[in-house]
């Protein structure tokens, strides 16, 4: 039961993008096309899930026993950077077109604050191993959800008659703001 | 105590680093993608400016498409003839020639020449100015003067002169077109270097209005159009336009006949000298 709550909390109620405002760069950058948004969401979900597991292991098996918790940022960044490298190689091998579509945003997952945020939140809330992983999956699902919603709206917007001064970045910001506002409706429902 | 924690820190982080790097190098071997070796060679031969002038995101992407045969080598406007020859040798094809291109600022209405409608005190960017009602100048077609083009130039081939107009240093310009893209009013155009004669104005207003807006505007008097042969120049909605296809040898240049001095011949050095006199006169 607790695990389900953690998942829903990370995915919807405390959505990383729309209520914590983490990982805004790919949220705006890769949300032009629904298909690439889904792939980006998958890549981030993968990195988040593995990162949550690996950072938990490192935190509890290395940092805490050796009393070097102060190094958690360094260790977590190391994990995330390596994982992103791995994902990048994997995507390049499996699908070159997808690799080209994601472009610079793929290596930029390395510096995506949503992933470091996830690792730090998970340790802060003293989650167990399973809980951490579920939290990672949930956060990834939430990220994908936000990205897919944004991409869907932006695809429709391509056909819409947007007033001249709102075109481009302006309307994107307004849409992002409205989405965040909608997600604020969930605020306080869960505090897991 | 401090020493041990230092050693532990170094040891644990070093260990993690070694662990991950080993994992990554194994993954790199397993997931290695065979790439055409010519791509790397072509990329080395390219200028490496990543200016995007060819329409691809960068030199690497251009190189891939050259190897695939999607694109002509000469589409890279920046590469020298030697570099193009080198790439052609790698690819085993004829080099072909491309005429060098250069950017031209199609407006002479600087701070001294144009009439003002308001004081502008917002963000110093043409893009912002264009959204906020077009800035200080009354002319709705001309240069806004905030230098977005200069910022966009990857070759440092542009600067803003005292008169608030961008100047292109022809020796450094490679015609990549980033400045033309950055200009919200499309004042900058990319031309082959063989185009020497230009009507440096974009204003389509009627003669009376354009004369009031700017002392260097094309006022649609048609003197130049009548001076050249039929079809070499034509009027397009109060603006004289040169038809470069029929404007062959360009022997007869009616520049001195232009009453507002916006019909100009570009010859590198002269342009530089002229820009200075403009500023001096106005000052």
- pLDDT tens digits for A161-190? 888 888 888 899 999 999 999 998 888 787
Instruction: Please check the confidence at residue A52 and state whether its pLDDT lies above 80.
Output: yes
CB < 8 Å to A58, chain B: 16
Chain A residue with CA closest to B1: the answer is A67
Query: Distance, in angstroms, between B228 CA and closest chain A CA?
Result: 41
Give pLDDT, residue A129: 94
- Residue B198: strand pairing partners: B264
**Tokens 């200016």 sit at which residue?**
B51
The residue written with tokens 């919807």 in the block is A12
Say yes or no to pLDDT of B251 above 60.
no
pLDDT 10s digits, B143-168: 999 999 999 998 889 999 988 899 99
Residues B205-228 have a mean pLDDT of: 86
Question: Does position B281 have pLDDT exceeding 80, yes or no?
Answer: no
Provide the chain A residues 33-62 that lie in CB contact (below 8 A) with chain B.
Answer: 58, 62
The answer to whether B27 contacts chain A (CB < 8 Å) is yes
Distance from CA of A96 to the nearest CA of B (A): 10
Chain B residues inside the 8 Å CB shell of A168: none
> pLDDT class for B183, splitting at 50, 70, 90?
very high
- From-to residues of CATH 1.10.15.40 in chain B: 37-91
Inspect the interface and report whether the beta carbons of B16 and A62 lie closer than 8 Å: yes
The verdict on a CB contact (< 8 Å) between B27 and A68 is: no
Start-end of CATH 3.30.70.20 domains in chain B: 101-282
Does the distance separating the beta carbons of B12 and A71 come in below 8 Å? Answer: yes
Chain B interface mutation, best of A79, A89, A96, A169, highest count of B Cβ atoms under 10 Å: A89
What pLDDT band is residue B252 in, cutting at 50, 70 and 90?
A: low
Going by the DSSP 8-state scheme, the letter that residue B105 receives in this structure is: E
ipTM over 0.85: no
Q: What is the maximum span of chain A, computed from C-alpha positions, in angstroms?
A: 60
Q: B101-282 has which fold? A: Alpha-Beta Plaits (3.30.70)
- In degrees and rounded to multiples of 5, residue A186 shows phi and psi of -85, -5
Picking from B263, B58, B270, the residue whose alpha carbon sits closest to that of residue B170 is: B270
Residue B40's pLDDT band (cuts 50, 70, 90): confident
Cross-chain CB nearest to B16 (options A78, A89, A96):
A78
B8 interfacial to chain A (CB closer than 8 Å): yes
Q: Which of A78, A89, A92 sits opposite B20 (nearest CB)?
A: A78
Mean pLDDT of chain B: 82
Does the pTM of the predicted model rise above 0.90? Answer: no
CB contact under 8 A, B31 and A90: yes
Name the CATH code of domain B37-91 (choices 1.10.15.40, 3.55.40.20, 3.30.460.10, 1.10.287.110).
1.10.15.40
User: What pLDDT is attached to residue A176?
Assistant: 92
Residues 105-164 of B with CB under 8 A from A: 131
3-state SS, residue B159: strand
In percent, how much of chain B has pLDDT > 90? 12
Minimum-distance CB partner of A85 among B5, B9, B24 = B24
CB contact under 8 A, A75 and B23: no
Q: From CA A166, how far away is CA B12, in angstroms rounded?
A: 51
Nearest by CB: B12 against A66, A86, A92: A66
For residue B253, count other CB atoms closer than 10 A to its CB. 16
Does position B278 have pLDDT exceeding 60, yes or no? no
Highest mean pLDDT among A52-61, B27-36, B63-72: A52-61
Q: Is the pLDDT of residue B280 over 60?
A: no
At residue B279, does pLDDT exceed 50?
Answer: no
3-state secondary structure of B104: strand
Residues of B in contact with A79 (CB under 8 A): 16, 20
Q: Label residue B267 by pLDDT band (50, 70, 90).
A: low
* Residue B64 CA from chain centroid, whole number: 24
CA distance B170 to chain A (A): 32
Structure confidence at residue B283 as a pLDDT band (50, 70, 90):
very low
The strand pair at B240-242 and B188-192 is best described as unpaired
Q: Which of residues 77-96 of A touch B (CB under 8 A)?
A: 78-79, 82, 85-86, 89-90, 92-93, 96
Which candidate from B8, B33, B131 shows the least CB-CB separation from A92? B33
Q: List all residues 6 or more positions away from A134 whose beta carbon is below 8 Å from its beta carbon.
A: A3, A6, A7, A10
Q: Does A4 touch chain B (CB under 8 A)?
A: no
């Amino acid at each position: 039961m607790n695990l389900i709550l953690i998942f829903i909390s990370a995915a919807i109620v405390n959505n990383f993008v729309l209520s914590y405002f983490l990982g805004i760069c790919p949220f705006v950058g890769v949300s032009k096309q629904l298909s690439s948004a889904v792939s980006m969401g998958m890549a981030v979900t993968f990195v988040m899930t593995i990162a949550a597991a690996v950072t938990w292991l490192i935190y509890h098996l290395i940092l805490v026993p050796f009393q070097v918790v102060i190094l958690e940022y360094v260790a977590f960044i190391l994990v995330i950077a390596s994982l992103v490298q791995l994902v990048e190689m994997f995507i390049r091998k499996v699908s070159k077109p997808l690799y080209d579509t994601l472009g610079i945003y793929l290596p930029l997952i390395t510096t995506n604050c949503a992933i470091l945020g996830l690792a730090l939140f998970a340790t802060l809330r003293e989650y167990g191993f399973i809980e951490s992983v579920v939290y990672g999956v949930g956060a990834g699902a939430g990220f994908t959800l936000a990205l897919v919603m944004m991409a869907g709206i932006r695809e429709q917007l391509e056909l819409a008659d947007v007033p001249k001064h709102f075109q481009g970045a302006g309307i994107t910001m307004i849409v992002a703001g409205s989405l965040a506002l909608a997600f604020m409706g969930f605020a306080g429902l869960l505090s897991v | 105590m401090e020493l041990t924690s230092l050693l532990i820190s170094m040891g644990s982080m070093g260990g993690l680093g070694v662990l991950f790097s080993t994992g990554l190098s194994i993954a790199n071997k397993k997931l290695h993608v065979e790439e055409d070796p010519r791509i790397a060679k072509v990329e080395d031969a390219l200028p490496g400016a990543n200016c995007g002038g060819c329409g691809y995101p960068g030199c690497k992407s251009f190189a891939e498409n050259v190897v695939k045969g999607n694109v002509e080598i000469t589409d890279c406007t920046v590469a020298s003839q030697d570099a193009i020859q080198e790439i052609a040798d790698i690819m085993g094809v004829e080099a072909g020639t491309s005429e060098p291109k250069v950017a031209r600022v199609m407006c002479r209405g600087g701070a001294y020449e144009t009439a003002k409608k308001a004081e502008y005190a917002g963000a110093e960017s043409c893009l912002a100015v264009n959204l906020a009602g077009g800035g200080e100048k009354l002319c709705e077609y001309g240069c806004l003067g905030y230098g977005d083009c200069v910022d966009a130039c990857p070759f440092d081939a542009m600067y803003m002169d005292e008169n608030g107009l961008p100047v292109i240093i022809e020796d450094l310009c490679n015609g990549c077109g980033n400045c033309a893209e950055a200009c919200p009013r499309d004042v900058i155009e990319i031309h082959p270097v063989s185009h020497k004669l230009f009507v440096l104005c974009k204003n389509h207003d009627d003669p009376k209005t354009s004369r009031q807006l700017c002392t260097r505007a094309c006022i649609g008097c048609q003197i130049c159009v009548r001076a050249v042969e039929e079809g070499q120049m034509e009027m397009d909605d109060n603006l004289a336009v040169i038809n470069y296809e029929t404007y062959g040898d360009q022997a007869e240049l009616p520049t001195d006949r232009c009453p507002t001095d916006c019909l100009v011949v570009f010859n590198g050095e002269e342009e530089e000298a002229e820009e200075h006199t403009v500023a001096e006169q106005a000052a």
